Structure 1
Amino acid sequence: MTVVLHDLLPADLRRSWVVDGTCPDLDLYSLFRARQITDLHRTAILDAKGKLCYTALDRKVRCLATALRDLGIRPGDVVGVQLPNGRHAVIADLALAALGAVALPFPVGRGSLEAECLLRRAEAVAVIAAVEHRGNHHAADLRTLAPALPSLRHVIAAGPGNTPEGTIPLSELLRSDPSGFVPARPDPDSAVRILVSSGSEAEPKMVAYSHNALAGGRGNFLASLIPDRTPPRCLFLVPLASAFGSNGTGVALARHGGTLILLDHFTPEAALDAVREHQPTHILGVPTMVRMMLDRLDGTGEKLPAPTALILGGSALDETTAEHAASAFGCPVVNLYGSADGVNCHTGLGSATPDADSQGVVAGRPDPRVADIRITDTETHEQLPDGGIGEIVARGPMTPMCYVGSPELDARYRTPDGWVRTGDLGFLDGDGILHIVGRLKDVVIRGGANISPAEVERELATHPFVCDVVCIGIPDAVMGERLAACVVSRAADSLTLEVLCEHLTERGLERRKHPERLLVVDELPLTPAGKPDRAALRVRMTEISRPGATKEVPLGQAS
């Protein structure tokens, strides 16, 4: 049985974006093939194995597509992909698109319980996974899960090492004869990829995207940051398997004919080496990653090759980080507001850094060729006038089809006419600029009073000794929750809670919003998707806050 993926957008609206040229109306593999024919020997991928040109990549894609077809993979089938950044991940993306199948990528490092949940709900018929990556043995783990997944017929093992028993070596499939392969040419408005959202649900949300939504809507986002239309050289610091990383194969490569510069694991040292050696035009990452890179550059005086843009998303970008990054990288810093659920807005190339704003994070002017944005009342859902703070809703060419296997999420987060309810709070000013204020759910409730962690993070980030910060709520028997700040410090001496709270007072933040716990860490832990791992920080902070708990904190210090 194949999972049903229906489109919640009106069909005539979806087709109108094809008629006016907003979406290309071609499937991803056809777009890639057109790029390959145009420039046979352009470099498609730079990874740990070296260079791979478009023609060599296309042959590998056809080999894998042939082999997957022979295994019984059919149009509409969902295939999981758990691979690190590298050529195998891109080959899998394009081969599945060429078959008319649907890729379900999720980052390496995610545990077997989450993988089982994703594959079961998506009714995946196969999964391609790494034999080993940084101590994880995903292929073997997924093979163990197979008996509990009635739809799963094949586990394909990629990479060096001994192929686990019961799995199929990817290397064997890549030796298939591609000469007789004929691409499926699926409907461009049919599903091609499922994005996994790391949102606030108990289980990860899965969101189905069509070829047009990915290459068209999301492709228009990247097009707005390529001023001369030259094929970009994109350094992806985030996993290609993440929602942010979905701008890799289908957008930078297939839509824009660019080059993907890929690291199989992010470290600030490896990222800086890639900037020096490969001179990317666009660097895509989260603010925490860039702060780590800036820390390594601090005091060196090194001048890096200047890209066209540094594109930062996934978490809030503060003014201090933006200014330091613009100086170090010598280019505009683009603040990207976006999510797997179907919203995108950014600050563009017009200035070196995003404008500061005391009322919230400035997210830029919405682009209707990507996603139109409105603000609605959180209770009545009526559209609000400019300046009114409410829930951000989005609809446009990048809008996904539906949530996968979750009709309750469709009912909760999609309106009858297809708008996506983001759960984010914001407003549009008189100039049509979007400002992000916080989240409907992301609040700490202390003694009945609501505190926005995002607001406190913004103010703490202005302290000269704060390199990076995440604020979280931790359970408390008396107040219900208390606010804790997890901070990476620039200071030689440890920061104290008193010093930070004095700074917040000077910034005008009322006392009830001040953090009551402090954890000082060397670096913020990251999730497999590359975002700050709030859950890990919450567990650690909760442990050390228990009565009688040890005050020895391996990650740093607690106050």
Structure 2
Amino acid sequence: MTGSLSTHDLVPSDLRREWAALGLYPDRTLFDLFREQVAAHPDRAAVICDDGTTTYAELYGAVLSFAAALHSAGVRPGDVVGSQQPNGWRSCVVDLAVAAIGAVVLPYPPGRGRRETFALLGRSGATATVTPVHWDNFDYAATLDSLRGELPALRTVFVIGGEHPGCLPADPVMDRGNRVDPAAPLPEWIVDGDPDGPVRILVSSGSEAEPKMILYSHNALAGGRGAFMSGIAGGVSPLRNLFLPPLGTSYGSLGSFITIACHGGTLILVRKFSPAAAARAVREHRPTHVFGVPAVFQLMLGSAEFADVDTDSIRAVVSGGSKIDTSTIEECIARFDCNFVNLYGSADGVNCYTDLDDPTEKVHTTVGRPDPRIARFRIVDGEGRDVPQGEEGEMICRGPLSPMCYVNAPELDARYRTQGGWVRTGDLGFVDTDGYLTVVRRMKDIIIRGGKNISPVEVELLATRHPAVRAAICLGVPDPVLGERIGLIVVPEAGSAPGLPELTTFLTGLGLEQGKLPERLVVVDDLPLGAAGKVDKPKLAQLFTDAPVPA
């Protein structure tokens, strides 16, 4: 190993082998699974994006070509390769090429700036990275170039969309016209890797000062996340998955390795989300499944661009990333005329989701029944002891999806993993008598007003029940007397938003306590999304700083 990635698996190896014996793992590398898909349907669309359609055969040729470039640049098995790109076929090429040579890919979305890039590449010991020269008015190549003196392990920077001094152009070595027979002998530097070995790092902002990085094996992705995709497929084959989150996020890890390598489906992408781009993708490419976060679906539902879009191809809308309110669920079901999947998951190795056939009430109020093929859940008290069914406690989970460890961060291993590799979610929940899991709140996601803990999620879910409120975000606003006051940001339905007195009266009528009522209100046209495709709460918090304080 030429990089500085320390790998260890917190899940016992005999348990991993037991899951393989039960058929919960394919026990194949993701590159091997991808080659099988290429051989089975070379002319099927693998990726449809703003650059056009890339077939499986074309993608395979580009993967081998870029894998050769990585090898020539000195990337070896076990090395980490960063990948910061907008959604598109090239992102899939990097994922699969890195897997082919036995290295580990570290994708993260555009929008993460110099400080976070330094943290990710530095802690992981990345030896190479791939980035656009420019994207969205930001000079990524120059930023990486400026970091080289502080990142001694980083030897090679590949750039897309042009050239930059000291960097290698990636466009010439991502050749979609290089059609290669998948049955042909492979170059000697293509690695026959260990399915239980590392292949991808998932990044999560979490509550840490720096982004958390979580290391996953081939088996954990292909088995655990692959089983999730099977569960929501509803018998549809081939899948046509419209992914609206960035592929560089944890959510986006369902793209290259799962939709393509494991399931042989078509990945439909928009380079940068907007309701108009999403509407065009649905209209032109007829997806079977649409993946997004609640804010994305709220924007789509409120958009005039979706008014006349035919959605009859859509089998399910899949929402993850944060808790979703019941009115948005109901509107999605009505507008898209399909099933709604309420997904609870995280980069740390957490997954639970509502089934396509679950009763509507359970879809509204729970995140489904845990699937042991993916992750088993326990509800525990402060001492780690299981609590009786129906009682609230911290949710911990472990299963075939479970990651290996945190990347070069033993302090995070100690904080978030328990004996035997269980993941501490940091969330409170309970399991009802039907076996459904309800997530109550994050243990740290609270506003402390005058010494009282307040759940912002509770306020948000009630506020969106107002007929004039499409979406709501509740934040703590710093206050010199109370510590924090309760701020609410709302996106109105068509027409005017309610004022603060009207909204507090409405919330009081729903039973919200006086001490939890919003004290500051800001109205916005839409919710800004951050690099990970989730609501940019720091940007929204600034609105309270900029807005005048009511008398």
**TM value normalised by structure 1:** 0.94
Q: Give the alignment partner of residue 295 of structure 1, picking from 271, 289, 302.
A: 302
Give, as a single letter, the amino acid of the residue that structure 1 aligns with 2:132.
A
- How far apart are 1:302 and its partner, in Å? 5.0
Rounded to whole Å, the distance in 1 between the matches of 2:85 and 2:239 is 23
Corresponding residue of 1:260:
267
| 1:433-467 deviation per Cα after TM superposition (whole angstroms, max 9, x unaligned) | 00010011111111110000111111111111111
Corresponding residue of 1:167:
167
- How far apart are 1:297 and its partner, in Å? 4.1
| 1:61-119 deviation per Cα after TM superposition (whole angstroms, max 9, x unaligned) | 00000111111100100010001110110000000000110000000111111001100
Deviates more, 1:397-406 or 1:289-298: 289-298
Rounded to whole Å, the distance in 2 between the matches of 1:423 and 1:441 is 7
In structure 2, relative to structure 1, the CA distance for the partners of 1:153 and 1:293 (3 Å cut) is same
Deviates more, 1:252-261 or 1:139-148: 139-148
Q: Give the alignment partner of residue 378 of structure 2, picking from 374, 389, 405.
A: 374
Tell me, what secondary structure is at the counterpart of 2:138?
Answer: coil
Corresponding residue of 2:101:
99
Q: Give the alignment partner of residue 50 of structure 1, picking from 49, 52, 68.
A: 52
Q: Give the alignment partner of residue 326 of structure 1, picking from 326, 333, 337.
A: 333
Corresponding residue of 1:138:
140
- How far apart are 1:356 and its partner, in Å? 6.8
Identity %: 48
Give, as a single letter, the amino acid of the residue that structure 2 aligns with 1:434.
L
| 1:160-181 deviation per Cα after TM superposition (whole angstroms, max 9, x unaligned) | x4x1111110023336998862
Tell me, what secondary structure is at the counterpart of 1:172?
Answer: helix
Rounded to whole Å, the distance in 2 between the matches of 1:274 and 1:497 is 38
- How far apart are 1:492 and its partner, in Å? 1.9
Rounded to whole Å, the distance in 1 between the matches of 2:94 and 2:62 is 9
Rounded to whole Å, the distance in 2 between the matches of 1:493 and 1:366 is 41
Corresponding residue of 1:485:
488
Corresponding residue of 1:338:
345
Rounded to whole Å, the distance in 1 between the matches of 2:360 and 2:320 is 14
Rounded to whole Å, the distance in 1 between the matches of 2:235 and 2:98 is 31
Rounded to whole Å, the distance in 1 between the matches of 2:432 and 2:186 is 57
- How far apart are 1:346 and its partner, in Å? 0.7
Q: Give the alignment partner of residue 475 of structure 2, picking from 457, 461, 472.
A: 472
2:166 equivalent to 1:181: no
Corresponding residue of 2:80:
78
2:367 equivalent to 1:363: yes
- Conserved? CA contact 2:342–2:363, under 8 Å: no
Rounded to whole Å, the distance in 2 between the matches of 1:404 and 1:481 is 34
Rounded to whole Å, the distance in 1 between the matches of 2:432 and 2:362 is 14
Unaligned runs of 5+ in 2: none
Give, as a single letter, the amino acid of the residue that structure 1 aligns with 2:75.
I
Q: Give the alignment partner of residue 239 of structure 1, picking from 239, 242, 246.
A: 246
Tell me, what secondary structure is at the counterpart of 1:474?
Answer: strand
Corresponding residue of 1:154:
156
Tell me, what secondary structure is at the counterpart of 1:486?
Answer: strand
Give, as a single letter, the amino acid of the residue that structure 2 aligns with 1:222.
M
Rounded to whole Å, the distance in 1 between the matches of 2:518 and 2:18 is 50
Give, as a single letter, the amino acid of the residue that structure 2 aligns with 1:450.
N
Matches within 5 A, 1:114-513: 114-159=116-161, 161=162, 163-174=163-174, 181-182=187-188, 183-297=190-304, 300=307, 302-351=309-358, 353=360, 355=362, 361-377=365-381, 379-490=382-493, 492-513=495-516
Aligned length, in residue pairs: 542
- How far apart are 1:537 and its partner, in Å? 1.1
Give, as a single letter, the amino acid of the residue that structure 2 aligns with 1:374.
R
In structure 2, relative to structure 1, the CA distance for the partners of 1:299 and 1:198 (3 Å cut) is closer
- How far apart are 1:225 and its partner, in Å? 1.0
| 1:378-402 deviation per Cα after TM superposition (whole angstroms, max 9, x unaligned) | x212111111111111100001100
Rounded to whole Å, the distance in 2 between the matches of 1:301 and 1:229 is 25
Deviates more, 1:169-178 or 1:261-270: 169-178
Rounded to whole Å, the distance in 1 between the matches of 2:28 and 2:386 is 34
Give, as a single letter, the amino acid of the residue that structure 2 aligns with 1:271.
A
Rounded to whole Å, the distance in 1 between the matches of 2:348 and 2:199 is 15
Tell me, what secondary structure is at the counterpart of 2:137?
Answer: coil
- Conserved? CA contact 1:196–1:207, under 8 Å: yes
Rounded to whole Å, the distance in 2 between the matches of 1:169 and 1:11 is 41
- How far apart are 1:196 and its partner, in Å? 0.3
- How far apart are 1:494 and its partner, in Å? 3.4
2:18 equivalent to 1:16: yes
Q: Give the alignment partner of residue 6 of structure 2, picking from 4, 11, 21.
A: 4
Give, as a single letter, the amino acid of the residue that structure 1 aligns with 2:379.
I
Rounded to whole Å, the distance in 2 between the matches of 1:405 and 1:543 is 39
- How far apart are 1:500 and its partner, in Å? 1.4
Rounded to whole Å, the distance in 2 between the matches of 1:108 and 1:193 is 18
Tell me, what secondary structure is at the counterpart of 1:51?
Answer: strand
- Conserved? CA contact 2:30–2:99, under 8 Å: yes
Rounded to whole Å, the distance in 2 between the matches of 1:144 and 1:63 is 28
- How far apart are 1:539 and its partner, in Å? 2.5
| 1:463-516 deviation per Cα after TM superposition (whole angstroms, max 9, x unaligned) | 111111111112110001111111101152232111111111111111111111
Give, as a single letter, the amino acid of the residue that structure 2 aligns with 1:316.
K
- How far apart are 1:215 and its partner, in Å? 1.1
| 1:305-344 deviation per Cα after TM superposition (whole angstroms, max 9, x unaligned) | 3311100001111110011111111101111000001111
- How far apart are 1:240 and its partner, in Å? 0.6
Rounded to whole Å, the distance in 2 between the matches of 1:479 and 1:532 is 26
**TM value normalised by structure 2:** 0.95
